[in-house]
């Protein structure tokens, strides 16, 4: 097998040589936000009974020395995308591909590998942040360098490469090993369809867990056996089979100077991204106030075509609810927000919210569809039974690079998603350490990971 070409060697050299001290401050600051946001989504997912059942079935308490442990990685990966609150997706820079689906979600694939290492090894917060930055940056570049084939879903596509890089970086691998990890981790992308989560299939979350597990195992093979990946295989998979439009210049050009991670987004709400503009409009219309479902006569939503396609009000699972625009709007009006607690079993069965969802009318507005992909507009009108009416329009949801969430908003989202999964002192201490650039190198992520894995391992 010939040595990989320069674009792929450049990725390995970048991964091996990048240190936080050499990264621009704004890039590190956003990476801190993205790590906290991804961690909060993962911990929120662990509050769901099916994820707890998966942990028991996968035997997360049966760890193997030296890891990575398959049961832990699959469970944590599934949890990381269970809420659909995970962020950091990337898009092809040409911007013309529709539907507007992100082509990469590397952060929730890499984080399980890092948490497992934090719980079982001697690696501090600063190094974990550094590895998260590198693995996520490379994974996002895989997304911008390609176009996901229409109708496909991004989980398990570019994420395994990020997990493979994280595994090798945790063991201070060489540039050559990191190049091989990227290529071998990319060699088995999942070819899953977008229709599955839209129709409520929670198996979508398993794709992330499998991607994290496969990527970590690929990295371990590189470390322990000297296995090598193939750039020819990468080109075949990502230039034709699973993705198209492969640009090796976009993949490896400007490494260390152009940071793709800062062009990703943070979601305000725990639901499908197409729905988020309507939720921002509903929140603006009502000034964020909670409304009793029985006091609302009806809600009218005008939005772009892809969001309008999510108009079903009858939901079969919490995943289906996250892809139901009427159900999400009804929940937001009733609760004032959408987080990990919004679709837990007891709250998913609320008759008043379900009835309000049936009174949400969704339609496409052609001029809103024409605004894609640069904008994703929505207009929401809420009519109360006492005759009052509220209305608002948004051109894009908050959380995009042009309209970023503030650190305070990310912190609030983290706390609401994590809830009471871990003790408040542990939750808040970890959050403070992640967001504070002067926090130094502690073991907050390790302490949190040990507590979470110990809890998952209990019978």
What tens digit of pLDDT does each residue of 15-33 get? 999 999 999 999 999 999 9
Question: Taking all residues of the chain, what is their mean pLDDT, rounded to a whole number?
Answer: 93
pLDDT at 63 over 70: no
Cβ–Cβ under 8 Å, residues 434 and 35: yes
Q: What is the pLDDT of residue 369?
A: 94
The alpha-carbon radius of gyration of the chain (Å, integer) is: 21
- Taking residues 192-203, what's their average pLDDT? 91
Choices 3.30.1330.120, 3.40.640.10, 2.102.10.10, 3.40.50.300: CATH for 273-394? 3.30.1330.120
- The model's pLDDT over 355-401, given as tens digits with 9 standing for 90+, comes to 999 999 999 999 999 998 889 999 999 999 999 999 999 999 999 88
- pLDDT attached to residue 440: 75
Give the pTM: 0.95
Q: Which residue has the higher pLDDT, 392 or 57?
A: 392
CATH code 1.10.4100.10 region(s) in the chain? 6-267+402-456
Checking if the pLDDT of 287 tops 60, the result is: yes
Q: What's the pLDDT score for residue 151? A: 87
Q: What band does 107 get if pLDDT is binned at 50, 70 and 90?
A: very high
Comma-separated ranges of CATH 3.30.1330.120 domains in the chain = 273-394
Fold of 6-267+402-456: 2-methylcitrate dehydratase PrpD (1.10.4100)
pLDDT of residue 226 exceeding 90:
yes
Q: What percent of the chain has pLDDT over 70?
A: 95
What pLDDT does residue 437 have? 85
Q: What is the percent of the chain with per-residue pLDDT over 90, rounded to a whole number?
A: 83
């Amino acid at each position: 097998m010939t040595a990989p070409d320069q674009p792929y060697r450049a990725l390995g050299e970048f991964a091996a040589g990048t240190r936080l001290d050499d990264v621009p401050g704004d890039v590190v600051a956003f990476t801190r936000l993205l790590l906290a946001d991804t961690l909060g989504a993962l911990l929120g997912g662990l509050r769901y009974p099916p994820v707890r059942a998966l942990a028991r079935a996968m035997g997360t308490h049966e760890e193997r020395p030296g890891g990575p442990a398959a049961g832990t990685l699959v469970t944590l990966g599934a949890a990381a995308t269970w809420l659909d609150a995970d962020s950091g997706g990337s898009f092809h820079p040409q911007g013309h591909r529709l539907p507007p689906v992100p082509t990469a979600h590397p952060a929730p694939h890499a984080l399980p590998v890092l948490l497992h290492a934090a719980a079982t090894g001697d690696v501090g917060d600063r190094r974990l942040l550094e590895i998260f930055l590198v693995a996520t940056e490379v994974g996002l570049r895989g997304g911008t360098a390609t176009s996901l084939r229409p109708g496909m879903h991004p989980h398990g596509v570019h994420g395994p490469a990020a997990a493979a890089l994280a595994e090798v970086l945790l063991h201070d691998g060489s540039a050559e090993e990191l190049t091989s990890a990227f290529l071998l981790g990319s060699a088995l992308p999942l070819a899953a369809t977008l229709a599955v989560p839209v129709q409520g299939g929670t198996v979508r979350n398993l794709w992330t867990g499998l991607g994290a597990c496969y990527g970590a195992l690929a990295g371990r093979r590189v470390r322990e056996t000297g296995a090598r990946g193939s750039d020819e295989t990468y080109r075949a998979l990502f230039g034709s089979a699973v993705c198209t439009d492969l640009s090796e210049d976009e993949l490896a050009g400007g490494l260390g100077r152009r940071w793709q991670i800062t062009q990703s987004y943070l979601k305000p709400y725990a639901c499908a991204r197409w729905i988020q503009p309507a939720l921002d409009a509903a929140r603006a219309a009502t000034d964020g106030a909670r409304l009793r479902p029985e006091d609302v006569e009806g809600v009218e939503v005008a939005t772009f075509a892809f969001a309008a396609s999510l108009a079903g009000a009858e939901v079969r699972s919490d995943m289906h609810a996250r892809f139901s625009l009427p159900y999400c709007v009804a929940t937001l009006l009733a609760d004032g927000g959408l987080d990990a607690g919004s679709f837990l079993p007891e709250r998913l069965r609320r008759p008043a919210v379900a009835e309000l969802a049936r009174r949400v009318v969704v339609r496409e507005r052609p001029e809103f569809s024409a605004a894609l992909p640069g904008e994703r507009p929505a207009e929401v009108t809420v009519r109360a039974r006492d005759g009052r009416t509220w209305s608002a329009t948004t051109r894009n949801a908050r959380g995009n690079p042009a309209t970023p969430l503030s650190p305070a908003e990310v912190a609030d989202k983290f706390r609401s998603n994590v809830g009471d999964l871990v003790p408040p002192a542990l939750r808040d201490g970890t959050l403070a350490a992640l967001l504070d650039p002067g926090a130094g190198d502690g073991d907050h992520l390790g302490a949190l990971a040990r507590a979470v894995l110990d809890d998952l391992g209990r019978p």
